[in-house]
Amino acid sequence: MRYLRYVKRLRREELRSADRNSRAVVTESKSIAKEHHRKERIAEKHKRRQENLDRKEIKDSLKVDYLQDLLDNKEHYESLQQERDAIAARDRKFKRHRRRRLLRFYLKICSRNVILSLKNLNPAKLPQLIRYIRSNKGQIREFAVISIHSTLLFVAAYLLIFLIILFTSSISGVFFDYRSIIYYYEVLWLVKPEQWFGDSVKMIYASGPILAGVLALFFAIIFSYIRTERGLGKLFLLWLLIHGFNAFFGSLLIGSLFGRGFGYAIIWSFISDTEKVIYTIVSITALILLGVFTARSFLISANSYYRHLEKHQQKRFLWAQAIIPFFAGNAIIALLMLPELLSYDITVSLSLVLTIIPVAIGHRFAHSLYFEEEIIRVKFNLKVIAFPLIFIILYRVILGFGIMIG
């Protein structure tokens, strides 16, 4: 028994010794590997530092060569700049002359057409025109009521989305210690040119359209629940989601094409021309699909005015509910932005025509619609007229003075 215990103890000690040896080997290998990795990191760090120094030396030498070339050929470059300025001045002068000639031509044509129309006016048809207006007085009044309601909601929805974009961009600048003033037409940045850099440009010019797109998706979810309800509140929500999606996809489209607004973020992201073409195609497709999916919603919004909408009435209703508000609303928006009307913003707003076209032809594929059997009178809604007008006036007056952020 003593011998067995001795053998057992001896084996236990041998196992412990073997385990200690194996742990020592593993620890030593780990320390060797760690030291090897440390040396590799140090070597890589020295290599990167040397590459940066070499790159800096190359840049400095190129800069010195560039400055020396400017000094050596100063007169030549000045003469080239003067030639370019003279060519640009001649181009501007020619364009002004051309615009004036075209304007005179258009005014001449319009005045001649008006005079010819007045000369060709048949006084005998005047009673017939008066009888037509009297016989269709109800339809004309309904058309005017629907157009005015939808136009005011169109303008209010656009200004609300535009205001959100302005505040989002201005607040994004606060993260980079940028000061800004929000006006009714744009954000005025109190920043020196050398203080701009890639991250700030991308965040400031992309945050507003992206937030508008997210809010549009949120509005679309809410609208899907109240789509068949009566009332003009859902029409305002419909214009909000359309303007929100257009603020994203329209800005992406115009920014990719002309390098303005949202395009600044695309440029500073170093996007290739091929990717810009892809963005353009995606934006155009998205705006067209938006019109396809909202065409029936515009027709269903007729339940706020009628008990049923027959097939032959749908075209006239879409003109009053969507097409006339689009043109009249953009004209009102342009007038509100005067005298600081920016071509980028009005072009983004006009890109909504890609959505309006499918809406305008959507009635061709729709059937007659029947709603609740309640007596509805088409009349002016004072709340729908007053609230958008008050918002539009406050927007123009308050932001005309400007709001300082930062």
pLDDT, one tens digit per residue, over 280-333 is 999 999 999 999 999 888 888 888 888 878 888 888 888 888 999 999 999 999
Cis peptide before 339 (omega within 30 of 0): yes
pLDDT (0 to 100) of residue 245: 94
- pLDDT tops 70 at residue 132: no
CA distance 100 to 109: 14
Tell whether the torsion through CA atoms of 300, 301, 304 and 310 is positive or negative: negative
Burial of 23 (0-12, 13-18, 19+ CB in 10 A): exposed
Neighbours of 211 (CB within 10 A): 20
Which of 118-132, 156-170, 260-274 reaches the highest mean pLDDT?
156-170
pLDDT of residue 124: 63
**pLDDT of 134 over the 90 cut:** no
Dihedrals phi, psi of 182, to nearest 5 degrees:
-90, 115
- pLDDT of 133 reads 64
pLDDT of 249: 92
pLDDT tops 90 at residue 162: yes
Model pLDDT, residue 128: 67
The mean pLDDT of 251-275, rounded to a whole number, is 84
Sign of the torsion angle spanned by Cα atoms 367, 368, 371, 373: negative
Strands of the sheet with 187-189, listed across from one edge: 187-189, 180-182, 403-405
Strands (E), 48-186: 180-182
What's the pLDDT at 121? 62
Per domain, the residue ranges of the chain are 15-72, 139-405
pLDDT tens digits, one per residue of 181-214: 898 888 888 888 778 888 888 888 889 999 999 9
Q: Tell me: pLDDT of 250 over 80.
A: yes
Position 76: which residue type? H
First to last CA, the chain: 90
Q: What is the pLDDT of residues 320-340, one digit of tens each?
A: 889 999 999 999 998 888 887
Task: Specify the range with the lowest mean pLDDT, choosing from 127-131, 227-231, 311-315, 365-369.
Answer: 127-131
pLDDT digits (tens, 9 = 90+) for 29-88: 888 888 888 888 888 888 888 888 888 888 888 888 878 877 888 787 788 888 888 888
What is the model's pLDDT at position 48?
84
pLDDT tens string 387-396:
999 999 999 9
Instruction: Please give the average per-residue pLDDT across 273-285, as a whole number.
Output: 89
pTM value surpassing 0.85: no
Write the CB contacts of 341 (distance below 8 Å, at least 6 apart in sequence). Answer: 185, 334
pLDDT for 402 equals 86
Task: Look at residue 135 in the predicted model and tell me its pLDDT.
Answer: 67
Report the 10 Å Cβ neighbour count for 176.
16
Q: How many CA atoms lie within 13 A of 140 on its CB side?
A: 7
**Least confident residue range of 43-47, 127-131, 230-234:** 127-131
Which 3-state string (H, E, C) describes 245-286? HHHHHHHHHHHHHHCCCHHHHHHHCCCCHHHHHHHHHHHHHH
How far is it, in rounded angstroms, from Cα 231 to Cα 227?
Answer: 10
